[in-house]
Structure 1
Amino acid sequence: MRGLFKIATAASALLATALAAPITKVRPGNGTDIIISSQNTVNATEPAPANATRPAPANATVASSTFKIAEDLAVSNGRLPLALVNNFAGAINAYVTGLDSNNQLVMLQPDGTWLYPVCDPTIGTPQPINANVAIPLGGQGSTTQVTLPAYISAARVWFAAGDLEFFTVYSTASNGPSLVEPSAVNPSDPSAAVSWGFVELTNTKDGGLYANISYVDFVGLVLGMSLLSGDGSVQSAHGLQATAVASICSLLKAQTARDGMPWTDLCQVDASGTPLRIIAPSDHVASNPDAFSDYFTDHTNEVWTYYSTNTLTIDTQAAAGKVACTVQGDQLTCAGDNRGYARPLAGDIFGCNSGPFAIEEGDNDVHRAIVPRLCAAFDRTTLLMTGGDSQPGLPSTSYYQSAPTNWYSAFIHQTEVDGKGYAFSYDDVNPDGDVNQSGVVADGDPQVLTVIVGGPLSG
């Protein structure tokens, strides 16, 4: 939704004050500094096979200035050509991680074969993967052609301005290794001083290709992508502007100067002060429970007061249709919902998966539809606007227009080239017919997935 709203520029004196605010400086450690969580692990459900690799397809990795679809790269048996375009002023390494069609952990080697990482079950600490899994891209302006040799799921295609470190830990569930990936939220991660990012993808026989750009957890090395389908159509998600990390950090620092909230702490910089990445406020709150603790308190109280005498209508955009909600006692209750909603805290609003927004086993379809729409309304601060009593109902031009709001999400959308790319978990919630903000490309007959590193190409 870039261009659909504007955020006032801070005065020069205010900006100078903001730039002096504290930031998070990374201090990369080693394997003992790794923090293992669901965000940075891939868990296989089957152990690695005895045979560690599979045959490479012909011409698995080729550097060239242009990319053409060749007959020998036709997608078959899950083989998927990737065109990796380097628009970054520096050296870039690519990595591919995921699960093969047998749910075994794999990483792509430069020769185009799968590596099946292993680990010693007698060692309880993360073990480094020392095999060569870095695929160097050509220089700025070049395209490197890579083919995934088979179907893959829960996958990431990583890009780094340097070397990333991956580890394994033994999983009793699979009797084999789990992959421990670089963590954006841990400033002491072994890869913390490297600028990196990834696109997520799954390519299966039954479901086809689904690839996604997401900023739900962090903003890092700028990426964009496009997908050529079998019918000749092209889908794209251009991602962020080339200077997005530095730009968003500056905006967050200025916002800290305005409201005193720890937006600046979301920015991670290297030893020289160069911005590396920006973590989402939900992840910051998870590590710092007192951060933003009172940020939404007055607003949620006003919402509860207003809807104790007014009706909030939530369009489930599903079979339940439009549902009426009112505050009764201290709970927002909705017709047909199996349970109500307490006042959310800042961490609940930023993450959309805790407190009143945690979806539990047994919740009915009405509840599952209301949670994303209600949390999106809080993140975008639209519940008390004129017309905000119908959710989702207001156009995207109305999002983030008053404080308190999710400035992390607001500044991401301001900096996106085409407005695509999730900035919080339910960023795809919009009125029917409004803009599509998801950074997704998907097709049942994918031909080539192109990923551009370092910002969109000119022209």
Structure 2
Amino acid sequence: SVPGQDVDESIKAPEGLVWAGNANLPYYFAWAKADGIDSYNVYVDGTLVANVVDGSVNLNESVFTKGSGEYAIGIAAVKGNKTSVITSIKYTYAGSGQPATTKAPEPSTAKPTDVTVAPTAPGQDIDESIQAPEGLVWAGNADLPYYFAWAPVVDVDSYNVYIDGAYVTNVSGNSVNLEKSVFTKGSGEYTVGVAAVKGNKVSNITSVKYTYTGDGAITTTKAPEAQPTAAPTTVAPTAKPTVAPTTAKPTTIPKETTNISFTTDSSIEKPFGLDVSQASVGYVNVVWGRGTIDCYNVYVDGERRRTGISAQALKLPVYTEGTHTIAITTVVGKRESERLEAQIQITGTGEKETEPETCPEELKPQLKENVPLRDDRIAIELNNKTNGKYSDSEIYWCIVGNNANNQLCYMDKDGNMIPASESLNTVEVNGTKYANIYHTLAESDHVYAPTIRSGRMYLSYGKPVYVKFVGSTGYAGPDLNNPGDVNANTLFEFAEFTIEGKHYWGNTTRVDYFCFPMVTRLIGGSLYGGYDNVVGDVGTRDEIFNAFKNEVPNEYKSLVRDDRIIAPCKSTFNVGKINGNYFDNYINEFWNKYANEDLRFSSESGRFVGRVVGNQMRFTREGDSTVYYVDKPNTQEVLEGKGAFDRGNGVEKAIEAQLCAAFNRGVATEPENWYTPSKYYKNSVSNFYAGFFHEHSVLGKAYGFCYDDVNDQSTLLQYDKADALVIDLKW
């Protein structure tokens, strides 16, 4: 610090420091300007070179006194006669005005910003007198991987956000939590841009380069389906299970160990990047940035709704119509920071949150007493609950997925990720060799899992699921569409998941079939109550089979086989089959209704208005003049979320997910019931296969069709401090 200025660690250090220059401003640096700060000191290699009041500085090349080479550029916030600690980046002065390298204070995929001119939203012309946003950075984390923030611009109305020059959304605050569906090219580099909006004019666009490293394909919230894998070129599943953790939807209320009272401590850093929006009628989306202390309380109208949670996206109900105050505080022990607040107008009221319904104790999978929990890994524990039908030596498991380096592997019983190789194909069955990668419960009934991405765990009775590696990057697994498949007569289930350290998200699924019952429990602890959620099937295998035969309409009884209950489109509801036109009349009823009136709904992607024109629906989104198109689906496209319900850009796919869910649940023509589970599967035309498994599951959660995650009805389990995943394998 400079003479007379002491470091005060309660002053928040600047965030988002980046080189923000260009050919005309080669030594220009910017950061997020904070409230309550008098000015900023600027340092080069620890030496004070300037003091500025704004969140940027344009240095003179004379400060680079060593000539060409690497320098540390530092910024400290000044308040009175105190300064914060210094935030710094490494900058290589090349003598030409263009840095050879810039090194961010924390690793990220965001590259230095550059002000450019790019296409704007229709009807908005560029006005270069409007200040372009500064300090645009990727500000995300594991829970908010697509979160960007920038310094607020004075006297502007809002901000447009662009991906590769195409408009994707408009926000009022100086941050945005994007959906992964905007990265329409799949994995690779994108330009994320922000422009300030004032009236019907916009500034130039400030942009950063961002590398999206998702699943390598166009991303949606669509659940993975088992794909035919008989061909030897089948590749390993690469999509994360079910839902990216950033998707805002109702979340289970963390249980509090006590009704903790918090005291306000102004020395604790306040949260940043709070962004609120209407999610649906009576619900608000809340998202904020992850700070150095990743522990927060969340308040709605003064009532604490979440305690001690990590930064994430939430969907919360409001209990009165009108203007609401959302507040976030940073938590340390039983102290919390001053509140970061935002206000929003919400139409309608939501269902009141209560203590979450809990799974009956007799259904809960139990932790093994001989398996200690670890601080560094999640324990996967498997319990034989087949009541003597199968011994531990007759129950098999195998796990395949990508390791921390995104290399296809299998997990051995000691928790090692072994790279895939055709040399592992050593087990011969019917003249074909398969990989020796499975274990029985007798060999090991638990494993401590390392990081594994896009993981799939096969669980089988009587014999293993045979998997064949194809090179080092793919594998051929079960294909139930092929009667001659080696696994066709094997009794097996599977779970899909991703584990990053102690962060787990994953699900079991009924998207393709039911074979035998499983109950899954995810457990994690924390000072504020932790996580303990259970999903799965209720009843024995015989009870579930008999109930299905007795309870579903006649059309669905045909789905029952001796070994499995098959999903509709895998059986008699497919093209040319007896029930192949099952949804057609309902689709026509919907199409006729909305040819004559508007369809209105709100989701985490925005507020939409749609109208049928011919064989398409045309949608507009509030604050967005773009027209989005959805084609008329058929029965198979409704049931499997494909074709008309799996095409177009990211916004169109988000609309299609809502429509697909509404049709399957029998509420398509009743948008007021789209987000009310008690109204689902009441219509005479519905996906009663999915409805049955919701009716016969723990707390009504099931994955009965590909978009069953819409409105949080799926079996997704997710927690960032998980200790154990416990699965009861039943009969």
TM-score by length of 1: 0.69
Q: How does 1:39-438 map to 2 (within 5 A)?
A: 41-42=235-236, 66-67=368-369, 70=372, 74-76=374-376, 79-89=377-387, 90-91=390-391, 92-119=395-422, 128-131=433-436, 133-137=438-442, 144-148=445-449, 150-171=450-471, 176-205=472-501, 208-231=503-526, 233-244=530-541, 247-248=544-545, 251-252=548-549, 255=552, 258=554, 261=555, 263-269=556-562, 276-284=563-571, 289-290=576-577, 292-318=579-605, 320-321=606-607, 323-336=608-621, 338-354=627-643, 356-360=644-648, 363-365=649-651, 367-384=652-669, 388-390=670-672, 392-393=674-675, 395-430=676-711, 436-438=712-714
Q: More strand per residue: 1 or 2?
A: 2
* Rounded Cα–Cα distance in structure 1 between residues aligned with 2:653 and 2:646: 10
Superposition deviation, residue 234 in structure 1 = 2.9
* Rounded Cα–Cα distance in structure 1 between residues aligned with 2:697 and 2:237: 32
**Residue 381 to residue 132, structure 1, CA distance change in 2 (3 Å):** closer
**Residue aligned with 2:536, SS:** coil
* Rounded Cα–Cα distance in structure 2 between residues aligned with 1:193 and 1:222: 17
* Rounded Cα–Cα distance in structure 2 between residues aligned with 1:241 and 1:410: 14
Superposition deviation, residue 98 in structure 1 = 1.6
* Rounded Cα–Cα distance in structure 2 between residues aligned with 1:398 and 1:352: 21
- How much identity, in percent, do the aligned residues show? 21
Superposition deviation, residue 68 in structure 1 = 5.4
Where does residue 176 of structure 2 map in the other structure? Answer: none
Superposition deviation, residue 350 in structure 1 = 0.2
* Rounded Cα–Cα distance in structure 1 between residues aligned with 2:367 and 2:686: 44
Superposition deviation, residue 130 in structure 1 = 5.0
* Rounded Cα–Cα distance in structure 2 between residues aligned with 1:187 and 1:254: 28
Q: Is the 8 A contact 1:110 1:135 kept in 2?
A: no
**Residue 177 to residue 373, structure 1, CA distance change in 2 (3 Å):** closer
Greater RCO structure (CA 8 Å; 6+ sep): 1
* Rounded Cα–Cα distance in structure 2 between residues aligned with 1:295 and 1:136: 43
Superposition deviation, residue 67 in structure 1 = 2.4
Q: Is the 8 A contact 2:397 2:440 kept in 1?
A: yes
**Residue aligned with 2:487, SS:** coil
**Residue 306 to residue 237, structure 1, CA distance change in 2 (3 Å):** same
**Residue aligned with 1:452, SS:** strand
Counterpart of 1:278 in structure 2: which amino acid?
Answer: I
Where does residue 4 of structure 1 map in the other structure? Answer: none
Superposition deviation, residue 346 in structure 1 = 0.8
Superposition deviation, residue 326 in structure 1 = 1.8
Q: Is the 8 A contact 1:311 1:326 kept in 2?
A: yes
Which runs of no fewer than 5 residues in structure 1 stay unpaired?
1-32, 45-63, 270-275, 431-435
Counterpart of 2:570 in structure 1: which amino acid?
Answer: D
**Residue 119 to residue 289, structure 1, CA distance change in 2 (3 Å):** farther
* Rounded Cα–Cα distance in structure 1 between residues aligned with 2:665 and 2:437: 44
**Residue 451 to residue 255, structure 1, CA distance change in 2 (3 Å):** closer
Counterpart of 1:399 in structure 2: which amino acid?
Answer: Y
Q: Is the 8 A contact 2:693 2:704 kept in 1?
A: yes
**Residue aligned with 1:442, SS:** strand
Which region of structure 1 is more displaced relative to structure 2, 444-453 or 161-170? 161-170
Superposition deviation, residue 345 in structure 1 = 0.7
TM-score by length of 2: 0.45
Query: How big is each residue's C-alpha offset from its partner over 1:61-89, in whole Å with a ceiling of 9 and x where there is no partner?
Result: xxx9942563xx5242xx33122122112
**Residue aligned with 1:166, SS:** coil
Counterpart of 1:156 in structure 2: which amino acid?
Answer: R
* Rounded Cα–Cα distance in structure 1 between residues aligned with 2:618 and 2:435: 54
* Rounded Cα–Cα distance in structure 2 between residues aligned with 1:35 and 1:289: 24
Query: How big is each residue's C-alpha offset from its partner over 1:22-63, in whole Å with a ceiling of 9 and x where there is no partner?
Result: xxxxxxxxxxx973499x75168xxxxxxxxxxxxxxxxxxx
Q: Is the 8 A contact 1:127 1:169 kept in 2?
A: no
**Residue aligned with 2:693, SS:** helix
**Residue 85 to residue 429, structure 1, CA distance change in 2 (3 Å):** same
Q: Is the 8 A contact 1:349 1:375 kept in 2?
A: yes
Q: Is the 8 A contact 1:226 1:234 kept in 2?
A: no
Q: Is the 8 A contact 1:312 1:390 kept in 2?
A: no
**Residue aligned with 1:348, SS:** helix
**Residue aligned with 2:601, SS:** strand
Where does residue 120 of structure 2 map in the other structure? Answer: none
* Rounded Cα–Cα distance in structure 2 between residues aligned with 1:132 and 1:255: 39
* Rounded Cα–Cα distance in structure 2 between residues aligned with 1:308 and 1:177: 48
**Residue aligned with 1:341, SS:** strand
Q: How many residues align?
A: 363
Q: Is the 8 A contact 2:523 2:532 kept in 1?
A: yes
Which runs of no fewer than 5 residues in structure 2 stay unpaired?
1-227, 239-365, 425-429
Counterpart of 1:304 in structure 2: which amino acid?
Answer: W
Q: More helix per residue: 1 or 2?
A: 1
